Amino acid sequence: MQWAISVDHKKLAMMYIGAGLIFFLVGGIEAAFMRLQLAQAGNEIVDPATFNQLFTMHGTTMVFLVGMPILLGFGNYLIPLMVGARDMAFPRLNAFGFWLFIFGGLLLYFSYVGADGLYGAGTAPDVGWFAYAPLTSRTFSRGNSTDYWILGILVSGFGSMTTAINFIATILCMRCPGMKLMRMPMIAWMMLVVAFLVLVAIPILTAAQSMLLFDRTLGAHFFDPETQGSAILWQHLFWFFGHPEVYILILPAFGFVSEIMPTFSRKVIFGYPLMVAATVGIGFISLGVWAHHMFVVGLGPVLDSFFGATTFLISVPTGIKIFNWLGTMWGGRLQFTTPMLFVTGFVAMFVIGGLTGIMLATVPMDWQLSDSYFVVGHFHYVLFGGTVFGIFGALFYWFPKATGRMLNERLGKWTFWLLFIGFTLTFMPMHVSGALGMPRRIYTYEVDRGWEIWNLISSIGVPVQMAGVAIFLWNVVRSLRKGEVAGDDPWDAWTLEWSTTSPPPDWNFDRIPTCTSARPLWDRKHPEDPDAHYE
Amino acid sequence: MIDLIDLSSTLANLVSNTVLALQDAATSTATSTAAAATTLVEPVVEQRELTGDFWLPQASSTLAPATDFAFHAITWLSYVFFFAITFVLVYLTWKYRQRGTEVKYDADAPVHNTPLEVGWTVIPLLLVIAIFFMGFKGYLDLSTPPKNAYEINVTAAQWSWNFKYPNGATSNNLVVPAGQPVKLVMRSNDVLHSLFIPDFRVKQDVVPGRYSYLWFQADEPTGIVPEDQMPTTATGHYLFCTEYCGTDHSNMHRKVFVLNEEDFKEWEETQARWLDEVPDEELYSIAGPKLYLRCSNCHSIDGSAGTGPSWGNQTSGSIAGLGTLWTRASEGTSPIDGGTRDNGGSTLADYIGPGKLYETPEDYIRESIYNPGALLVSGYGPNMPHFKGQLNDRAIDAIIGMMKQLDQFDAKGRFVGKAAN
């Protein structure tokens, strides 16, 4: 009950992350069924209608009910502690946003029992996570599963918007004395940019979904080509949300890397000003790349080349980040704890995701690779090898702060290596099967197409990953009861959250801290050589 | 489901296929020319040649080599970047790993380096500009069909493709002339689809409410096989739908056959006339099964439930046990719920008969093919594409004839004659 009525940013954050992890297991099980079905040619483990529901629910769950809440949860936990505030700017709005997310997620999953699907075929939504019109119209999507999809995401989207408002207000208005913008932890910068992207992108999705709801229930014709509506309009609106969304999911993970890597390199982050500039640059450019999801639609040379060019452009600030992380390691004293392993793995995996992104941005190549398994491989390298590895790094890094106990390092390393190997087994072969022509979202395939071996390897990776996640869950349960007691500052880190107790009191700090440089705790620990001297 | 025996047999197959492909490569030119010449006499079923490289399937259109060059160039550049970055990463993790347990700091460790930072901003920028222009050139070639291109109209619908040739011939598989640019003019009857031929490196969405184009030129003839041999043939190139389009998206794949000019002309002529040449008394048994191929994705014959009502005696749903489609129509037993011409009747009997909406059951069936949304059987949606302009009266006669004598066909719609049952 204390939790249900709480407006404390730390409790809300832990509920965000806990709920996100539960949805992560659900989405993972959905994916496991898909890989089981695709392990061999001609399998009949699930029927096509069920398979269509599985990939729709997997995608929707992972983006809206796992990625968003976990990352917003970390933002919620860390922002007040890192900028030296007692809570978020609007604690009650914060609780409101959290409960909207929970209700949205439950509404979506209620469709499994409460809705009719396409052609009466099933219950859960089965229109794909980007729900292209006109498959979503009343004509082709009978019953009300698509309405559940619309309403579930619409409701949780309002939650994300309130959280973004809170982030911006807290970061801009509630920093402790002395914390200038250019002294903020990198993660605060990332979250600030993310919050602005949420405020620009999510309302577009909400608007598009409302229009779709009008089409379906009130007889409007926004997306109905039969009556002068446009199927392409949905794609523009969806991806105008959808591409910034990708950066909403990856920038906080960049933030985790930018905090964890310096701590375990025993060095300040390399090129802080350029990092900030690259982050803001990514924020702006990410609003102008959406139609690279639509190269096969036939938008014409002007639009295709414009969006191809902006997509290449965004790879430059992203590359800067990679090089700056390498620069952070350069000359450091690297400690390979579990969080450090995860963020190092993140850098290598994200490079692959970025390079395949460049391949997809080259329009003629996109015409071979688009909508194939190559794309599936590409975005899992970004969102799993990137975001999920970042999240695991963050979980291991801040778990001691939130609970007062350390996670077990030995189990943690098992988790890392199992996830790393399983992940590579599953997603690397998808690039090959995709380039060989395997379309995405097919529920089965025939033997003579040369895709079998790649699909088999992909499926073999799944139990390996599941073992890694199982060990992680065991680690959490075990460490909560008898993990090593963490103390205030187990990693000898430099940001303000480590200056208070673990777990922090409801009011965070007994006295509001002051900040003399980008590493306030360093200055306190090393009065003989404070960073403040170099600013 | 995953066992090592399957893995090893898959590996063995892979090896033997590769050997076969290498053997075939030497003789491929000779055999494929011979194959094309004999095409129309008897179907040629040849082993599919896996002559592509590790990344890409065989390159079978004139523009494919250019796309492949760009693909390989950018892939190699990516290898270089990936291995360089990974090398640096591994080197740094090794060189600067902490030795011992004492935490030390190197006060002189670099935290900023302007030339380096400018370098890793500007060099990638120049590289992506270069890649952009390389891609742009290929883009222009791929998106500009030559003026003399042979035009084929493509209609996509849930979940079938229909190809219509200038002389009026239609087909379910795409058949194209070799050595001549071909332009596909594509439209969709219902939702988004996307036409993808991996061997040609072409893909284009098919969008309801607008036309889209795609062009290619294939020089190597492949031979052709009749449609009823489709599931087993290795001849021809794959054609997939790559935009998710509903329940049976996975099955919306066909073949592309390339014929040399003479064979193509002959095929086109035969294909345009075939229905007229079938004797009247054999219309239902010869033409029926060929036409049924397009219906078979949604309508079963053996009574199993599908996206549309079965032609046979369905075992489940609102029409369970009411008899074959013809029985249901002639006795008027199908329950009706919805449709543009639904006027409140509960079964077909309220719509068929003298003075009612349809005079005869045949009228009802023809209307259901031309305007499928008119009356909907309970539990089914208005999803069936219409076939107006694609099936003439003779084709409708063949289909109705087949429906009336369904006991002479097996579960896959093949004619087995009266004796078999």
CB contact under 8 A, A364 and B129: no
A522 pLDDT above the threshold of 90 = no
Give me the mean pLDDT over the B125-146 stretch: 83
pLDDT digits (tens, 9 = 90+) for B263-316: 999 888 888 888 888 888 888 888 888 888 878 878 888 888 877 889 988 888
Longest dimension (CA), chain B: 100
Any idea what DSSP says for residue A175?
Answer: P
Would you report the helix, strand and coil content of chain A in percent, each value rounded to 5?
70, 0, 25
Assess contact for B18 and B53: CB atoms under 8 A: no
Angle, to 10 degrees, between the axis of helix A389-403 and the axis of helix A452-482? 10
- Collect all residues of chain A within an 8 Å Cβ-Cβ radius of residue B138: 362-364
pLDDT digits (tens, 9 = 90+) for A236-250: 999 999 999 999 999
Q: Which residue of A has its CA nearest to B114?
A: A271
Q: Which amino acid is at A281?
A: G
- Which of the four pLDDT bands, split at 50, 70 and 90, describes residue A155? very high
A278 pLDDT above the threshold of 70 = yes
- Collect all residues of chain A within an 8 Å Cβ-Cβ radius of residue B251: 48
Angle value at C-alpha B395, between B393 and B397, nearest 5 degrees: 70
Distance of CA B11 to the CA centre of its chain: 28
CB contact under 8 A, B74 and A312: no
Least reliable range by pLDDT among A88-97, A104-113, A453-462, B200-209: A104-113
CB contact under 8 A, A347 and B89: yes
CB contact under 8 A, B135 and A308: yes
CB contact under 8 A, A333 and B98: yes
Give me the mean pLDDT over the B155-182 stretch: 89
Beta bridge partners of B163: B154, B171
- Collect all residues of chain A within an 8 Å Cβ-Cβ radius of residue B82: 351-352, 355
What pLDDT shows up at residue A123? 74
- Which of the four pLDDT bands, split at 50, 70 and 90, describes residue A374? very high
What pLDDT shows up at residue B6? 45
To which residue do tokens 């999920």 refer? Answer: A388
CB contact under 8 A, A320 and B120: yes
**% of chain B beyond a pLDDT of 90:** 18
CB contact under 8 A, B128 and A358: yes
Give me the mean pLDDT over the A397-426 stretch: 95
The Cα–Cα gap between A204 and A200 comes to 7
- Collect all residues of chain B within an 8 Å Cβ-Cβ radius of residue A232: 207, 210
CB contact under 8 A, B88 and A326: yes
The Cα–Cα gap between A136 and A229 comes to 13
What pLDDT shows up at residue A22? 95
pLDDT digits (tens, 9 = 90+) for A312-359: 999 899 999 999 999 999 888 888 999 999 999 999 999 999 999 988
Q: Measured between CB atoms, does A530 come within 8 Å of chain B?
A: no
The Cα–Cα gap between A32 and A462 comes to 7
pLDDT digits (tens, 9 = 90+) for A159-193: 999 999 999 999 999 999 999 999 999 999 999 99
Task: Report the residue of B61, B91, B96, B144 to disrupt the A interface, i.e. the one with the largest count of A CBs within 10 Å.
Answer: B96
Please give the torsion angle defined by the CA atoms of residues A78, A79, A85 and A88, in that order, rounded to the nearest 10 degrees. Answer: -110
Q: Which two tokens stand for residue B196?
A: 């993808």
Give me the mean pLDDT over the A113-125 stretch: 61
- Collect all residues of chain B within an 8 Å Cβ-Cβ radius of residue A492: 103
Decide which of A394 and B18 is more confident: A394
Contact partners, residue B115, CB within 8 Å, separation at least 6: none
The Cα–Cα gap between B146 and B183 comes to 9
CB contact under 8 A, A359 and B379: no
CB contact under 8 A, B381 and A301: no
pTM above 0.90, yes or no: no
Q: Measured between CB atoms, does A182 come within 8 Å of chain B?
A: no
The Cα–Cα gap between B302 and B377 comes to 19
- Which of the four pLDDT bands, split at 50, 70 and 90, describes residue B25? very low
* Mean pLDDT score of chain A: 91
B42 pLDDT above the threshold of 60 = no
Residue A460's φ and ψ, nearest 5 degrees, are -65, -30
- Collect all residues of chain B within an 8 Å Cβ-Cβ radius of residue A448: 48, 234
How many interface pairs between A and B have CB atoms less than 8 angstroms apart?
Answer: 302
Assess contact for A317 and A274: CB atoms under 8 A: no
Decide which of B186 and A4 is more confident: B186
Output the CA torsion sign for B246, B248, B250, B253: negative
Right CATH for A9-534 from 3.90.1150.10, 1.10.1370.40, 3.40.225.10, 1.20.210.10 = 1.20.210.10
Put simply, the chain A residues between 435 and 454 with a CB less than 8 A from any chain B CB are: 435-437, 439-446, 448-450, 452-453
CB contact under 8 A, B204 and A298: yes
B9 pLDDT above the threshold of 80 = no
CB contact under 8 A, A365 and B131: no
A120 pLDDT above the threshold of 60 = no
What pLDDT shows up at residue B160? 86
- Which of the four pLDDT bands, split at 50, 70 and 90, describes residue A42? confident
Give me the mean pLDDT over the B47-65 stretch: 74
What pLDDT shows up at residue B159? 85
pLDDT digits (tens, 9 = 90+) for A95-113: 999 999 999 999 998 888 7
Which of A274, A364, A453 shows the shortest C-beta gap to B117?
A: A274
Give me the mean pLDDT over the B126-138 stretch: 84
Decide which of B289 and A409 is more confident: A409
CB contact under 8 A, B248 and A48: yes
pLDDT digits (tens, 9 = 90+) for B367-394: 889 888 888 888 887 778 888 877 888 8
- Closest by CA to B137, choosing from B199, B73, B197, B70, is B70
Distance from CA of A162 to the nearest CA of B (A): 33
CB contact under 8 A, A359 and B246: no
Q: Which residue of A has its CA nearest to B63?
A: A364
Give me the mean pLDDT over the A466-486 stretch: 94
The Cα–Cα gap between B222 and B136 comes to 31
CB contact under 8 A, B82 and A367: no
Which of B55, B75, B381 shows the shortest C-beta gap to A119?
A: B381
- Which of the four pLDDT bands, split at 50, 70 and 90, describes residue B5? very low
- Collect all residues of chain A within an 8 Å Cβ-Cβ radius of residue B126: none
Domain map (residue ranges) of chain A? 9-534
Distance from CA of B273 to the nearest CA of A (A): 33
Q: Which residues of B155-169 are buried (b: 16+ CB within 10 A; e: fewer)?
A: bbbbbbbbbbbeeeb
What pLDDT shows up at residue B2? 39
Assess contact for B159 and B177: CB atoms under 8 A: no
What pLDDT shows up at residue B48? 46
Distance from CA of A11 to the nearest CA of B (A): 33
- Closest by CA to A495, choosing from A519, A516, A523, is A519
A122 pLDDT above the threshold of 80 = no
Distance from CA of A239 to the nearest CA of B (A): 16
Assess contact for A361 and A291: CB atoms under 8 A: no
- Which of the four pLDDT bands, split at 50, 70 and 90, describes residue B322? confident
CB contact under 8 A, B207 and A442: no
Task: Indicate if ipTM > 0.85.
Answer: yes
- Which of the four pLDDT bands, split at 50, 70 and 90, describes residue A387? very high
What pLDDT shows up at residue B52? 65
- Which of the four pLDDT bands, split at 50, 70 and 90, describes residue A375? very high
Assess contact for A329 and B93: CB atoms under 8 A: yes
Distance from CA of B120 to the nearest CA of A (A): 6
B346 pLDDT above the threshold of 90 = no
